[in-house]
Structure 1
Amino acid sequence: MTDPPAIRVWYWRTCDPCTAAQWSLLDGAETAWAHRLVRDVSRTRYVASHVGLRTRLAELTGERPEALRFSTGPQGKPSLVGGGNPSFNLAHSGDWAALAVSTLGELGVDLEVFRKVRDARAIARRYFAPSEHAAIEVDEPDTPFLRVWTRKEAVVKLIGTGLLQPLTSFAVPTSAEPAEWIDLPQPNPIAEPRCWVAALRAPQGCLAALATARAPASVTIEEA
């Protein structure tokens, strides 16, 4: 009997500089991008994120981390080259990275380190759907703003458009409820009418969300 379809999520820290052996796991494009980053902290976080991505995908596929090859969609969403590979999505914020992997099909994940959001209400009024505004018109808007933001980011990462998709074109749940179905903007690149949006347990001081067109039997979360 095969295991029921599930999603796995990993979190890991990205603040420790990588060793030469870890750098060697990256391909030429990743290495070139890392060297173009001006700030040392940005370079460290990028390399640690991609080393973690390759290491975990290698464990799942049986490939060597450095042998993994990626292709990108029209808007830059990466996927593994080769049939039968799982779908994945990577997110990072501050000193944390998150990776979600699924055998169900495309998915999107977002992670945000908690922070004060300047002009949160004004940003929401301009860029969020009307049904989302009320949740942010409160005395302390930062947490509800980031809750909505992570869910909307997860959705646009699921459909592969990124922020080219107007954030006013769809609405996500604003409550702390763990998971709900929402209507997707039409048309969309994955040709799905709806998606399942879930708040994820995240590292302390972070918020995270997941979006997928198929509700999983389970979501397993690991933190390194």
Structure 2
Amino acid sequence: MGGPGPFARALASLDPPHWEPAAGAPPSGAETAALWRAVVPGPGPALESMAEQLAGEARVRAATMAHPLRRAQFVTGQALRRAVSSPSGAFSLSHTGDWVAAAVCGCGPLGVDAETARARRSMERLARRFFSPEEHALVAGCGPEELPVFFYALWTAKEARIKALSRDRAHPAPVSLLALLETDTAAFTVTGPTLCIPLSEGRMHWCWLAPGVLCACLVPHAAATLRFWEWRPAG
């Protein structure tokens, strides 16, 4: 691979999705996957109303969480799960900062991960620890503008894949995305608000969940359409 530049630039220049507001899951089948986002509310009645609707282990866990933001993320994620998931379908959840992301589909594998893509001193160290030597070398060679986008593209994709496959495998085999991220842009496609590459298990989509928040979603091959929804609780 000549370098991560074309991939990182294509990803950075994606237009944001059009998020359709909804209070619950619209009907969908195996041919359509849905990516949801929800704003994490600050302390106040909206958050406590969601917390009061939790039950069982989730309610106990929320009551014992001391960190305000983590509690708010957890409560919002559980409320979103209750509103949009289906007992017979696949569901995956992630959160970062003030946002929660959820992927829903009638079948799997399905996995989602969202991260705030800002420069951190720890990126090179994390790449050395968790990425392949080739991936680490590319991260280390990135320019300052490309580095956060490329690092978090790899990170979110790996996390989304682990979430998708860990339901069927105790330890999913690692996969290097480098073979698919060639300087020839035929290796990836840009369709509307997403950049997509094919994997053996499905298709990996990246998009911007919000400004500066990168999201990767692995959807099954059967899901030919990915729709974007913003959860807005009724009332």
1:222 maps to which of 226, 229, 232: 229
SS at match of 2:209: coil
In 1, Cα distance between equivalents of 2:106 and 2:114 = 21
Specify the alignment match of 2:9 in structure 1.
none
- Give the secondary structure class of the aligned counterpart of 1:211: strand
Paired residue for 2:13?
A: none
CA RMSD of aligned residues (A): 2.7
1:21 and 1:139 mapped to 2: Cα distance? 45
Q: Is the 8 A contact 2:162 2:172 kept in 1?
A: no
Query: Which structure 2 segments of 5+ residues have no match?
Result: 1-27, 189-194
Q: How does 1:14-33 map to 2 (within 5 A)?
A: 14-17=40-43, 18-33=46-61
Give the structure 2 partner of residue 199 of structure 1: 206
Cα distance, 1:41–1:3 mapped onto 2, change above 3 Å? closer
C-alpha contact 1:7 1:219 (8 A) present in aligned 2: yes
Instruction: Identify the match of residue 139 of structure 1 among 140, 143, 146.
Output: 143
Q: Distance in 2 between matches of 1:10 and 1:22?
A: 17
**Paired position in structure 1 for 2:159:** 153
CA displacement at 1:10 relative to structure 2? 0.8
Equivalent residue, structure 2, for 1:182 = 199
Tell whether 2:94 aligns with 1:91.
yes
Residue of structure 2 in register with 1:73 after alignment? none
Structure 1: state its 5+ residue gaps: 62-79, 184-193
* Equivalent position amino acid for 1:33 in 2: R
The corresponding residue for 2:16 is none
- Counterpart of 2:23? none
**Which residue number in structure 1 is paired with residue 133 of structure 2?**
130
Give how far 1:102 is off.
Answer: 0.5
> What is the CA distance between 1:126 and its match in structure 2?
2.7
Partner residue in 1 for 2:121: 118
Structure 1 residue 106 corresponds to structure 2 residue 109: yes
The verdict on how the C-alpha distance between 1:152 and 1:174 changes in structure 2, with shifts beyond 3 A counting, is farther
- How far the C-alpha of 1:157 sits from its partner, in A, is 0.4
TM-score (norm 1): 0.72
Query: Counterparts of 1:115 and 1:3 in 2: how far apart (Å)?
Result: 35
Deviations 1:118-159 (A, max 9, x none): 232232133112342343121322221111101110000001
* Counterpart residue number, 1:7: 33
Bigger RCO of structures 1 and 2 (CA < 8 A, at least 6 apart): 2
Indicate the percent of aligned positions where both proteins have the same amino acid: 25
Give the Cα separation in 2 of the matches to 1:95 and 1:115. Answer: 15
Q: Is the 8 A contact 2:30 2:105 kept in 1?
A: no
- Say if 2:72 is the partner of 1:44: yes
2:70 alignment partner, SS class: helix
Separation of aligned partners in 1, 2:101 and 2:29: 23
Distance in 1 between residues matched to 2:50 and 2:128, nearest whole Å: 44
Amino acid at match of 1:152: K
Paired residues of 1:196 and 1:215 also in contact (CA < 8 A): no
**Number of residue pairs matched by the alignment:** 186
